[in-house]
């Protein structure tokens, strides 16, 4: 009995130390995700509006159409709500 107790005491630090307690993944910051989505939206809208202007659409109408297309295509993002 004493021998098994001693063995447990000796082996317990092996199972309780190290990276096992630190296996939690860091939580994603919603602020970072929102910033990335917003930057993507801005780049996408500018690119699409440029394409539409190159086809002869007026600049203000092209921008509005690009925003509408972004909302339809990427409706699952928070950036599409803006």
Q: Is the pLDDT of residue 55 over 80?
A: yes
Whole-model pTM over 0.85: no
Percentage of the chain lying above the pLDDT 90 cut = 54
Q: Is the pLDDT of residue 20 over 60?
A: no
For the purposes of burial, counting CB atoms within 10 Å of the CB of 70, is it exposed (0-12), middle (13-18) or buried (19 or more)? buried
Max CA pair span of the chain: 89
Residue 1: per-residue pLDDT: 73
* Dihedral over alpha carbons 23, 27, 32, 34 (to 10 degrees): 140
Distance CA 13, CA 11 (A): 6
Neighbours of 76 (CB within 10 A): 6
Residue 11: per-residue pLDDT: 67
């Amino acid at each position: 009995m004493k021998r098994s107790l001693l063995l447990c005491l000796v082996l317990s630090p092996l199972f309780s130390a190290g990276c096992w307690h630190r296996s939690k993944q860091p939580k994603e910051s919603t602020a970072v995700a929102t910033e990335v989505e917003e930057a993507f939206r801005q780049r996408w809208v500018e690119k699409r509006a440029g394409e539409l202007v190159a086809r002869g659409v007026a600049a203000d109408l092209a921008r509005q159409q690009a925003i509408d297309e972004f909302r339809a295509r990427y409706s699952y993002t928070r950036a599409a709500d803006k």
